[in-house]
Structure 1
Amino acid sequence: MHSLFHRRDFIKLAAGMTGASLLSRPVFATSTRQGFTHGIASGDPDARSVVLWTRYVGDGDTALEWEVARDTDFSAIVQKGKVVARPKSDYTAKTIADDLPAGAWFYYRFKAPDGTYSDTGRTRTLPDGAISSLKLAVFSCSNLPFGYFNAYGHAAAQGDFDLAVHLGDYFYEYPVGTYPSKEQSVPGRHIEPEHELIHLADYRLRYNSYRMDPDLLALHRHYPMISIWDDHEFSNDAYRDGAQNHDPATEGSWDDRKAAASQAYFEWLPMRGRAYARYDFGDLASIITLDTRLTGRTKQLPYEAVLQGVDTKDQKAVIAAFTSFRNGPWADPARTMLGTEQENWLADTLASSKQSGQRWQVMAQQILVGRSYVPPSLVAALPDNTPDWLKARMQGAALAASVGLPLSTDAWAGYPAARSRFLQTLRENADNAVVLAGDSHNAWANDLYVGNAQSPTQNPDAVEFGGHSVSSPGFEAYIPLPEERITADLLAASPELRWANTNKRGYMAVHITPETAQCEWRFTGAPSTRAPDLTNRHTMQVRAKKGAGTNTLEAV
């Protein structure tokens, strides 16, 4: 993302490391297995149906049978059918089990022509009517070479969630040795292919690698999943017409690459093929998924471009450049995050949810809406041995903040007019709007305001639970300061920010009742070791209210 730090900054840090270790080959082979190769998965449920998925490698098209039952012995089968695993779909097989009872848990499996069975999975339909509780396990940013997916393993073992929600960056498109470098990679966590993903075969093989991880297999086996893509399922900092990490001169058409990545995504994930959708949980809540990447987003405006040709040692010149940018390109109302069609769909969908009597409207989307700023005090606290490039980057971010520019131009704050439209839509069409976000690798809790959060004239327009990553590094990998100092300075400089953690990995456990929407940020051990246990947690909540906007967040 375009912000204080970039992926190449991490590579700079890696270049200064010693004690390089060679990447080992994977403990699981990816390309020669036969039969059921990647377990099972389910997802994209509604009140009467759910998508079932498996992968079966045979000698050609293979007809599989599937069964849905109320018990693990499959003595009480409620639905069954057939589906074909085809080479042209990378041997994946996906079907919709429909005409199921609402609000019920089921078990499912597939059967091959030779009589062998797949693993047994557990799934559910969404409830109708009055319900009192909804529990979500929310994930984002899982980079396999950076380490183990302890968050997946912990959530799978709990068994008490209604649904898994993945907010994107299910994998990363980089070649072996880039984010992470070979020195930073955890031995045994190898990915295929070794080159960057560009073509359909590349994206398929990367899914093949990731979907052999035992903790990801367990997560898919235990819960149905609602997933949305972010940028790395395609290419870094993707937008409608391109990506920061895509060069048409050497990598071909962006439309072709985007189509290949999208095809592989829907082949390998148990989703129906929609970029955005609504999921109803009785009278309690609607989960509304959005696409902030490919459907309507215009190109990001990175700060590097603002400072091209500017003497960065001249503080007045830098501030003048940032001020001109703030008043011009940055504020342009034509710049969009969702696109007009999706914006209109969102307004109608929110209004429908509210009118149907649902208490909560939950936005499951990719990127942070809350605005964060880098204060001069954080720059002043850097130790003397901080690399010059890092000092310069943080000084620039602090000068940008001095004229009201945010930490990230890739997040919603980098599109201020679109952000205002989004929050105004929430205020006008939802009484209790909660935003879920991933992407940043760090944990955040924000009260969200259209206007000046420093002197708000009304209650928040919405609240935000920003999720930390499964394994991708956060600020701890960049800023050589104690986490407590980083978060304290960010909190002091960022009026919307209510809490943050910038050095731990894990996932969010979101619990919604008629009275409250509560988020527990669960922190797992360092991803360098497979240890799916919690090391810490932090909980905040918002109480339901009547009327426009939301209450403010409070600690629990």
Structure 2
Amino acid sequence: MSQIRRRSLIKAGGVLAGAMSIGGLAATASASGSVFAHGIASGDPNPDGVVLWTRVTPEPDALPGSGLGAACAVDWEVAADEGFANVVARGSLITGARRDHTVKVDVAGLPAGQWLWYRFRALGEVSRTGRTRTAPAADAALQRLRFGVVSCSNWQAGHFAAYRHLAARGDLDAVLHLGDYLYEYAPGEYQARDVVVRPHDPPVEMTDLGHYRRRHAQYKTDPDLADLHASVPFVVTWDDHESANDAWSGGAENHTEGAEGSWADRRAASQRAYAEWMPVRYEPGGVLHRRLRFGALAELSMLDLRSYRSQQVATPLDPGIGDPARTITGDEQMRWLTDGLANSTAQWKLIGNPVMIAPVRFPSTLSIEERRAIGELTGTPEVEGLPYNVDQWDGYTADRDEVLGVLHERGITDTVFLTGDIHSAWAAELPFSPATYPLDRNSVGTELVCTSVTSDNLDDILRVPPRTASPAVESAIRANNPHVKHLDFDSHGFSVLDVTAERVQMDWFALEDRTQPSTGAQRTVSFEVPAGSQQVHQVSEGIR
């Protein structure tokens, strides 16, 4: 999502796994020394496996992105108990500078639906112990499923207290990170109300492989993010800032061809660093979109809406918005998505969706300042004085019509889009025919949007206290978009999604002060989607 316009400024390796037997890890070895300075993580849980991740520093000058440091052996093990008395899998591998000394192991043969513990050993040091969970068997009857949901975590705009609160819960099966896990900007380019809370490293905009590796490494040193990664598996996808603002298949708003090299080289660098540094079943040259099954209760489809998309149109008056030749998903991913929806045997079809799919028409009653602020928030042009978000599905209406058409024509129920990107909380229905809604309340799905972890939102852009200017703007947008049932333009924080056979419920939590690492968080609102309804309703009680 666009937060800053460049023109307004002055300005791998494969997944590795080993089957070699290793001895028990020495209990007296350090679990917090210099070798494992970037923590540990797990992700992409399957019924029989999970991805494990770490990074080793074999010598002091083998810093991330440096290309320095000798290759070294890394041992790993997974146990059914925290004391590692019952080890269920172990192995060894070699990592080196070629993959920035990162380690990613796709462990298979694990028991389904169980909490497990894991750790690594290298150069005489033992990592901290991590906890992860495999998915239940594909046909398992689950009573409930619970996810943390986050997006848009800008290091420069604050501390990641949202991750601390999620880690402290202890009741999550996984965390969904819906994009903008990190940001590409240099210090002074995008932060908290123009104040750099903590500066990015390297102190330049990321453009090459070394930059991307160093930035990933910096984010992994955040203590709250490290604790969350060590406590629960992540399921991630990227949006634009993992590469550059408003990225599309052939370029990005925040990329100058020539001066910053070719877009193909920059994108390849960002994707390689992402593959190296994230606990995800993705390697450069492969596909990021994938589907995870959680028993008979839910199926989660994670989308990639940057790699294949056509360039954004310059204005919503451009007829290209509805051109079937333009795409946000790409043809192959669209077939994968619609076939998956049509053929799913899971009750709930959850879709990890980096940018909003619900149509949004901005009202003409907003002030000039409010229009400009929304334009900056959504990163979209103003047409006849009104902002319009052409970076979301609103700019690719043929693709949206195809997805919603499949839901309508096939009578598919219980589809919920889980979305990030826009730094605000939304609960919306997805009308098959927006022009006749709500007289014809034919909703074919729902969308729940999480706030940013730290990135600026409307009150920050307007430079006003929270809940002063935004409520009037939110009311005007809801009046102009009756399918939008909730909107909060001011909060930073996280969400928790609870899934049962009877309903899906999301609770939104707001941080008191994103610039303070010890800040508290409070639940602000809860909405549910009753099974079979394709509608959202506010509920008074939070998830228990």
Q: TM-score of the superposition, structure 1-length normalised?
A: 0.84
In the alignment, what sits opposite 1:298?
310
Question: Counterpart of 1:316?
Answer: none
Match of 1:279 in 2: 292
Report what 2:252 is aligned to.
243
Q: Give the match for residue 440 of structure 1.
A: 422
2:71 aligned partner: 61
**Is 1:347 paired with 2:338?**
yes
- What displacement does 1:298 show? 0.3
Q: Report if the CA contact (8 A) 1:508-1:519 is conserved.
A: yes
How do 1:431-510 and structure 2 match up within 5 A?
431-452=413-434, 454-456=436-438, 457-479=440-462, 482-510=469-497
Q: What is the match of residue 525 of structure 1?
A: 512
Question: Paired residue for 1:417, among 390, 393, 398?
Answer: 398
Question: Does residue 44 in structure 1 map to residue 55 in structure 2?
Answer: no
* 1:76-95 deviation per Cα after TM superposition (whole angstroms, max 9, x unaligned): 11111112231111111111
What number of residue pairs does the alignment pair up? 493
Question: Do the aligned residues in 1 keep the contact of 2:5 with 2:253 (CA within 8 Å)?
Answer: no
> Which of 98, 103, 107 is equivalent to 1:97?
107
In 2, the alpha carbon distance for the partners of 1:537 and 1:396 equals 31
What's the offset of the Cα at 1:532? Answer: 4.5
1:427 is displaced (CA, Å) by: 3.3
- The question of whether the paired residues in 1 share the 8 Å contact of 2:248 and 2:309 is answered with yes
Judge conservation of contact 1:459–1:552 (CA < 8 Å) in 2.
no
Partner of 2:20: none
In the TM superposition, what whole-angstrom CA distance separates every residue of 1:413-440 from its partner, at most 9, and x where no partner exists? 1111111112223334532100011000
Aligned to 2:156, the other structure's residue is in SS state helix
- Summarize the Cα distance change of 1:183–1:433 in structure 2 as closer, same or farther, 3 Å threshold: closer
In 2, the alpha carbon distance for the partners of 1:10 and 1:141 equals 22
Mapped partners of 1:493, 1:182: distance in 2: 29
Task: Return the offset for 1:70.
Answer: 1.4
Conserved 8 A contact 2:314-2:381: no
Secondary structure of 2:45's counterpart equals coil
State the TM-score, normalized to the length of structure 2.
0.86
Q: CA deviation at 1:247?
A: 1.3
Partner of 2:495: helix, strand, or coil? strand
Q: CA deviation at 1:531?
A: 2.7
SS of corresponding position for 1:535: strand
Map 1:386-405; keep pairs closer than 5 Å.
397=382, 399=384
Give secondary structure in 2 for the equivalent of 1:522.
Answer: strand
| Residue of structure 2 aligned with 1:73, choices 83, 105, 109 | 83
Opposite residue 332 of structure 1, the aligned amino acid is D
How far residue 498 of structure 1 moved from its aligned partner, in angstroms, is 0.7
Q: Residue type of the partner of 2:150? A: F
Q: CA deviation at 1:225?
A: 0.5
Separation in 2, partners of 1:81, 1:45: 19
Inter-CA distance 336–223: structure 2 relative to 1 (3 Å threshold)? same
What are structure 1's unaligned runs of at least 5 residues? 15-32, 304-321
Distance between the aligned counterparts of 2:248 and 2:383, measured in 1?
26
- Opposite residue 57 of structure 1, the aligned amino acid is T
The offset of 1:181, in angstroms, is: 7.8
Equivalent position of 1:28 in the other structure:
none
Q: Secondary structure at the match of 1:262?
A: helix
Q: For each residue in 1:364-414, what CA deviation from the matched residue of structure 2 results, as whole angstroms up to 9, or x when unmatched?
A: 01001112232232227x6xxx9x97699999858466xxxx731101111
Look up the match of 1:7.
Answer: 4
Change (3 A) 1:101 1:469: same
Is the 8 Å Cα contact of residues 153 and 532 (structure 1) preserved in structure 2?
Answer: no
User: In 1, Cα distance between the equivalents of 2:201 and 2:208?
Assistant: 13
Distance 1:259 1:392 in 2: 30
Give the drift of 1:458.
4.9
Amino acid paired to 1:413: D
Structure 2: 5+ residue runs without aligned partners?
11-32, 59-68, 540-544
User: What is the Cα deviation at residue 11 of structure 1?
Assistant: 7.6
Q: Is the 8 A contact 2:428 2:536 kept in 1?
A: yes
CA distance in 2, matches of 1:65, 1:243: 40
Q: Secondary structure at the match of 1:256?
A: helix
Structure showing the higher helix proportion among its residues: 1
Higher mean C-alpha displacement, 447-456 vs 460-469? 447-456
> How far apart, in 2, do the equivalents of 1:184 and 1:171 lie?
18
Query: Residue in 1 aligned with 2:29?
Result: none
Task: Determine the structure 2 residue equivalent to 1:214.
Answer: 223
